[in-house]
Amino acid sequence: MTNTTDPAPGTPLLQVEDLRVEFRMRGSTVNAVNGLSYTLAEGETLAILGESGSGKSVSAQAVMGILDTPPAYVTGGAVRFRGTELLGLPEKKRRTYRGAHIAMIFQDALSALNPVHRVGDQIAEMLLVHRGMSRGDARKRAIELMERVRIPSAGSRANDYPHQFSGGMRQRVMIAMALALEPDVLIADEPTTALDVTVQAQIMKLLRDLQDEMAMGLILITHDLGVVADVADRIVVMYAGRVVEQAEVRELYARPAHPYTEGLLASVPRVDVRDRALTPIKGSPPNLAAIPSGCPFHPRCPRAREERCPDEVPALRDVTGTGHGSACHYAEEVLGG
């Protein structure tokens, strides 16, 4: 992987700071991302969790610079790759980072792939455009990439169309495309959605193996806590476009410090606990065009108190002295049980 900057020592591989994104619709404004901040180090796996509508995918698209404007507008914040601010770059310059330094695997591989082009040609196109390879060399490299993501008979399968692959194999094709330019950061947006449990495990192991091999940073966007338990180093929990909790993975699973995270964990089936009823989070995610005042989770929160929660937005703060952040007024009480 090549670097285009000479960052200062200690500069994060990727830094997102106070990112804000809104969708301007006819008659309303949807506040999809409301001050998101996180960092990613080389070789680190960061999981971003939350229900549908929490802003996970929109924030990733903002980082990639692929939101459609209109209706989406990045209204504030910063996205820095090795210290270089990306949001203010001209589109031509921004494209030099997209794919080559930050790549993304999309949730629905069948929709993301072009149905009328062979998969080998789609992978090779990345190399033709960005690396200036000859068509023959690009084709050879595309097959090598398909082999790298463990697609059997890659030489012949490169001639097939997306619909001729299973869901798991289409996802491997998407991973091969994302890796074509050897990015420093890979964003995987719900990479195991609609796949059975066995294939989910295979895809997650593949991502981990490739990450170790290439020393890239991995951002895993998901709503499934079970998927990330064994692969993530740190977890960011999002709700209503904000970070409500962040911690090292073992710490977060053992000692959740926000009622929303507690609710997510309580709603996950566990094979090590028998006769345990699942406890769903009551209510529904908020309307992002009319986010509740105060703590956005307070209408659904079993610990909400009238004196603070409906009126005062809680700041994300370190509640343990070890970097475990929670945006709850009563996080210490949550930790204390």
Concatenated DSSP letters of 194-213? T--HHHHHHHHHHHHHHHHH
Give one word for 261, left, alpha or beta, with left for phi > 0 and alpha for psi -120 to 50. alpha
Look up tokens 């809680």; give the residue.
314
Domain boundaries, the chain: 253-337
CA–CA distance, 130 with 148 (Å, rounded to integer) = 20
Mean of pLDDT values over 136-151: 95
CA–CA distance, 171 with 110 (Å, rounded to integer) = 8
> Which pLDDT does position 226 carry in this prediction?
78
Residue 229 phi/psi, 5-degree rounding, is -55, -40
> Which pLDDT does position 128 carry in this prediction?
93
> Which pLDDT does position 251 carry in this prediction?
94
> Which range is least confidently modeled, 110-119, 165-174, 263-272, 320-329?
263-272
Residue type, 215: A
Q: Is the pLDDT score of 107 beyond 90?
A: no
Mean of pLDDT values over 307-326: 94
> Which pLDDT does position 267 carry in this prediction?
81
Q: What is the pLDDT of residues 15-55, one digit of tens each?
A: 999 999 999 988 899 999 999 999 999 999 999 999 888 99
> Which range is least confidently modeled, 211-225, 233-247, 264-278?
264-278
Beta carbons of 126 and 208 less than 8 angstroms apart? no
89-99 burial: b if 16+ Cβ within 10 Å, else e: eeeeeeeebbb
Give the other-Cβ count within 10 Å of 34's Cβ: 23
- Average pLDDT of the chain is 91
> Which range is least confidently modeled, 35-44, 118-127, 226-235?
226-235
Closest CA to 229 of 195, 269, 178: 269
Q: Which helix (H) or strand (E) holds 92?
A: helix 91-97
